[in-house]
Amino acid sequence: MRVFPLSLAACVLMAATLAAVVAWPGQAGAQQAAPASSAPLTQQDIARMLPATDMGAGHGHGMATYTAATHPGDTSTATSFDAASIPTNPLMPKADPIGSKTCIACHTQENIQASHSLHVASFRAGSERSGPQAACETCHGPGSEHAKNPTAPGSIIAFTHDSKTPPAEQAKVCLGCHAGGARQHWTGSIHELRDLSCTDCHNPMARVSPEGVLAKPSINEVCAGCHQDIRAKFNRRSHMPLPEGQLACTDCHNPHGTITKPLLKTDTVNETCYTCHAEKRGPFLFEHAPVRQNCLNCHDPHGSNQQTLLVAPIPMLCQQCHTMTRHPNDLQTAAGMGTGASPDERVMGRACLSCHTNIHGSNNPSGSKFHK
């Protein structure tokens, strides 16, 4: 019943072989071509090649059980994955588990790749003590029908583009273990409502990202798969250091669902901003209404063509609201530039902010106009 150590050994062996092959491109090319050049397998071929199941699938024996009798002397504690259950496949409700040995007989390469991912590695940890249930079928559902008829749509729970399993069912499988916590608000979130599946962002079958079992090598690349326009904003003159690798979309957003529409990790926009810009939190003796209400009134956190992520050039930004008597409401023109006919501090450099510098709020008793 020690399926995994054998497969693991096979894995390591194949990895070593592959690594050697990689070093010699000519051989690597030949190795790569071999499976592709083979004639497609028929279902009879597959049935003939399949090993006997290691779980007695189809014979009413149910799942194998790890017992003291089968593993005398093992006093180590089981891992938390040992109790992982096998979900029912709604499209094949009568299918039985067959054990990963059977799966791996065909999915050899998948096994190798999955063995390197955090997800499967965690399942494997200690699994030799618990039997094979915490393996392929924990996510893909019982595989007996798939083994009998591998090309039948929906014969197992699949997580890819052509899958017959609806995204909601796919997510249900993942949430079987990953419910709560960061995913407490998945249900009803925008990503859930738009029929996204966990595997739109994650690929637990390969170690494409060294952590997070992501579908692409980094969080930002994953998000940019759909949010291309947002990613492009980060190329603008002022931006947060996302292209420079210092920041990820998930620093501010929780794609698994939150109680805010933009999937912010905090209760409001400002609370998210204050996490890094704690100096802006105050409260200040004198507050600036739009600042306290919402940082997005003046800033676009994804990127801007203006300085400091401003949504419009100053003084225009300020003059959207400041029509008050005297100096705020004059039309500033090219005449006010440093090269203009009448240089004007309301246009030049930091413009309004040259004087109203403490625009995020002032703690000075004389700071009601943010001069101090």
Partner 1 sequence: MHALEAKVLIFGIGVACASCAFAGDTSGTMRVGDMQFGNALDPRGWTPMLYPADPDGMSYLHAGMLRTPTGLPYRFPPAAADVKPLGKATDWTYSGVVELGFIHVGGGRNAEFFRQYADWKSGFALGLLALDFQNAKTGQYVELRGSRLSGDDQFYRLRAGQYGRYRVEAFYRDMPHTVSTNAYPLWNGVGTSDLTLPSPLIAGASTPGQVAAAHAGSSRRTIGLTRTREGIGIEGTVWRNWIGSASVTNEKRSGTRLWGGSMFFNYPFPDNGGVLETVRPIDFRTTDVNLSVRNVGRIWRFMATYTGSFFRNNQDHLNFESPFRLYNVVGTPQVADIKYGQFSLEPDNDYHNVRLDLSRELKGNGQFTVAAAYGTMRQNDALLPPTTCTGTGGIFIAPPVNYTFNCADWNTTNALSQKNANARIDTGLIDTRLTFRPTPTFGWHANLRWYREDNKTRYLAYNPITGQYGYISENGSQGSIVPGESGIFDPRNPLLHSANVTVRNVPYGYTDTLFELGGDWEVAPKQSLSATYTFDHNQPKYRERKRVDDQRIKLAWVARSVGGATIRASYEYASRTGDHYNYDPYKQFFSESLAGFVDPVTGIAAHTVDDMRKYDLSDRTENKARLILTYPWGDSTTLSATFYGSRDRYDTQIGRQNTSTTGATLQWDWQPTPATTMNVYLGAEGTRLGISNVADNESLIGSNIGQTNPSLGGPLYPYANQWWEFDRERNSNAGLSFSHDFGRVRADVSYNYSGSFGHVGYNYASLAALAYHGPNAAAAAGDSFPDNSYRSNSVDLGLSFRFTNQLGMRLFGRYETGSFTDFHYAGFDNTLDYDHRVYTDKGPQRHYSASLVGAMLNVKL
Q: Is 149 in the site for partner 1 (CB under 8 A)?
A: no
Report the residue number, 56 or 196, with the smaller CB distance to partner 1. Answer: 196
Q: At what angle do helices 108-115 and 3-23 cross, to 10 degrees?
A: 90
Instruction: Tell me how crowded residue 33 is: count the other CB atoms within 10 A of its CB.
Output: 10
Given candidates 99, 199, 302, 309, which one binds partner 1 under the rule CB under 8 A?
199
Closest by CA position to 282, among listed 350, 361, 223, 340: 361
Per CB under 8 A, the segment of 51-59, 64-72, 93-101, 348-356 that binds partner 1 is 348-356
Given candidates 1, 105, 152, 248, which one binds partner 1 under the rule CB under 8 A?
248
Minimum separation from the CB atom of position 68 to partner 1 (A): 18
Q: Is 49 in the site for partner 1 (CB under 8 A)?
A: no
Minimum separation from the CB atom of position 65 to partner 1 (A): 20
Report the residue number, 72 or 229, with the smaller CB distance to partner 1. Answer: 229
d(CA 163, CA 175): 18
Structure tokens at 231: 């990613």
d(CA 372, CA 368): 8
Given candidates 110, 148, 149, 301, which one binds partner 1 under the rule CB under 8 A?
110
Given candidates 188, 213, 269, 302, which one binds partner 1 under the rule CB under 8 A?
188
Report the residue number, 36 or 69, with the smaller CB distance to partner 1. Answer: 36
Rounded CA Rg of the chain: 29
d(CA 15, CA 254): 35
Report the residue number, 61 or 372, with the smaller CB distance to partner 1. Answer: 372
Given candidates 6, 49, 52, 341, which one binds partner 1 under the rule CB under 8 A?
341
Report the residue number, 56 or 319, with the smaller CB distance to partner 1. Answer: 319
Pick out residues in 256-275 that bind partner 1 (CB under 8 A): 256, 259, 265-268, 271-272, 274-275
Amino acid (1-letter code) at residue 62:
G
d(CA 137, CA 127): 14
Burial of 309 (0-12, 13-18, 19+ CB in 10 A): buried
Closest by CA position to 152, among listed 43, 50, 55: 43
Long-range Cβ contact pairs of 349-355 (< 8 A, separation 24 or more): 350/307, 350/314, 351/314, 351/315, 351/318, 352/314, 352/315, 352/318, 353/314
Given candidates 141, 170, 223, 302, which one binds partner 1 under the rule CB under 8 A?
170
Burial of 137 (0-12, 13-18, 19+ CB in 10 A): buried
Q: Is 85 in the site for partner 1 (CB under 8 A)?
A: no
Report the residue number, 56 or 367, with the smaller CB distance to partner 1. Answer: 367
Given candidates 200, 295, 299, 302, which one binds partner 1 under the rule CB under 8 A?
200
Site string for partner 1, 286-325 (x = CB under 8 A): xx-xx-xxx--x-------xxx---xxxx-x--xxx-xxx
Given candidates 64, 91, 215, 295, which one binds partner 1 under the rule CB under 8 A?
215
Give the interface size with partner 1 as a residue count (CB under 8 A): 188
Q: Is 210 in the site for partner 1 (CB under 8 A)?
A: yes
Amino acid (1-letter code) at residue 208:
V
